Structure 1
Amino acid sequence: MFNQQQNQNYEGSSQMPDKMSHGGHELFDAHEAIGGLVGGLEHSVMYEQYVKDPELKQIMTSQKSFLTQMYNTIVQTLKTGQEPAVKTQTYNMALNNNTIYGMQPKQPKSPAQSVNEINDECISGFLMGHLKSCSSHFTTTALETSNPVLRRVFADSIPNLIEMAFELYLYQNKHHYYQVPQLKPEDMQNYINSFAPVQGQLPH
């Protein structure tokens, strides 16, 4: 009796309208992913008053505008299950791709004890942390999403989150907030050459 009723429930669920074609897993994951995006946007509002560097302020303004549109696109797709009015855009960062390698001596860092100690280094790190978290949530959500349109919106948004995080990385690197050590040349070559391509005819 239970199995028969359960099967009827499953059959009925397949007849739901398209806009309701969401599985439970994707709704839980989408809720968490969207909530993380909301948190990042709300925190950026709090950080704005403490930013001193005009370059960082410009990055924040550009990213906040893009993330707000991303949020609207995701929410519309979640509600309708259909193609959104504004499809996923492509974020183009203003900075070049040049990383400064090497370490410079710095004073040891400790947690800020007052808002007066919150500076551009802190804020750029906070923003990058939000983007890293969002990219992880979006990836998990895309893997669990059964609605093909919502899955594609989340999946297509991930490269934009990565690009924005990389933009902040470059900003931090340029100001020596995020330093990048390198291995000795011989050690680097050993790592680079530690794998070889598969030889011969590859399987089809």
Structure 2
Amino acid sequence: MQNQQQEQMHQNMHTGAVPPQMNHGGHELFDVHEVLSGSIGTINSYMLLRQHVKDPELLDILDRQYQFMQDEYNITLECFKTGQDPSKPTGKYMMKQDNDFVYGMKPSQPKKPWQSPTEISDEFISGCMLSSCKTGASAKTMASLETTNPVVRRVLADSVPNCIEMAYELSIYQNKHHYYQVPQLAQQDMQQMMNAYAPAQGMPQTNNMNANNMNNMNNINH
């Protein structure tokens, strides 16, 4: 029986007739394994942190992101195990907040490691959530670039904007509460940076010298 399976796999490698559930390359297996493991870690972290949240707004963000992440994890796992379209498509995460940032730096106390677990705060919790979303976006992007299965690649790629949206939502929350301050350049420097590039125009031009050389070679051959 084992010899038959090995012979069938050997034939599949030559003919390309690979069953959908085996339609995965080696790099893909390792990278998607990292994505799924990371997703579990994030979901578990959200669960542990939830009991320490004090701000109702942050609790709402955590619960909405937790539910979405869990659903997205199940979709990714399903298509990874079957190699086929999942039972439902990847959703689109939508944050509730506006996208207004407060720019500039205000004096604040220097940060330092805790002396006691009682120091846990909404600032720390939202920072952990933000880091997890950023890590997820990087891991899924890298995995999608190494994925050979077209369905898994699409699911991973569709998931990246959701990680970005969640991270953006958390950065806005942190900014609003002065946990995450955003400095700006001086207006003159900003304008200089913004005007440092010009639009691309037209089509590539053929090198006349190379074109003439090609014509001369063609004439010689004839």
Note the aligned Cα RMSD (angstroms): 1.5
Q: Distance in 2 between matches of 1:41 and 1:52?
A: 19
Corresponding residue of 2:95: 93
Secondary structure in 2 matching 1:82: coil
Corresponding residue of 1:12: 12
Q: CA deviation at 1:11?
A: 4.6
Corresponding residue of 2:156: 154
Match of 1:134 among 112, 133, 136: 136
Q: Distance in 2 between matches of 1:113 and 1:202?
A: 63
Q: Distance in 2 between matches of 1:96 and 1:10?
A: 56
Q: Distance in 2 between matches of 1:9 and 1:18?
A: 13
Q: Distance in 2 between matches of 1:203 and 1:160?
A: 37
Please, what TM-score do these two structures have when normalized by structure 1? Answer: 0.92
Q: Distance in 2 between matches of 1:149 and 1:53?
A: 39
Q: Distance in 1 between matches of 2:88 and 2:75?
A: 6
1:122-169 CA-to-partner distances (Å, cap 9, x unmatched) read: 000000111111111000000000000000000000000000000000
Q: Distance in 1 between matches of 2:204 and 2:119?
A: 59
Q: CA deviation at 1:203?
A: 4.3
Q: Distance in 2 between matches of 1:172 and 1:108?
A: 16
One-letter amino acid of the structure 1 residue matched with residue 59 of structure 2? K
Matches within 5 A, 1:8-87: 11-13=11-13, 14-87=16-89
Secondary structure in 2 matching 1:92: coil
Q: RCO greater where, 1 or 2, for CA within 8 Å and sep 6 or more?
A: 1
Aligned structure 1 segments of 4 or more residues deviating by more than 3 angstroms:
8-11
Unaligned runs of 5+ in 2: 1-7, 206-222
Q: CA deviation at 1:115?
A: 1.5
Please, what TM-score do these two structures have when normalized by structure 2? Answer: 0.85
Q: CA deviation at 1:10?
A: 5.9
Unaligned runs of 5+ in 1: 1-7
Corresponding residue pairs, total: 196
One-letter amino acid of the structure 2 residue matched with residue 85 of structure 1? S
Overall identity of the aligned pairs, in %: 49
Q: CA deviation at 1:68?
A: 0.4
Q: Distance in 2 between matches of 1:136 and 1:10?
A: 35
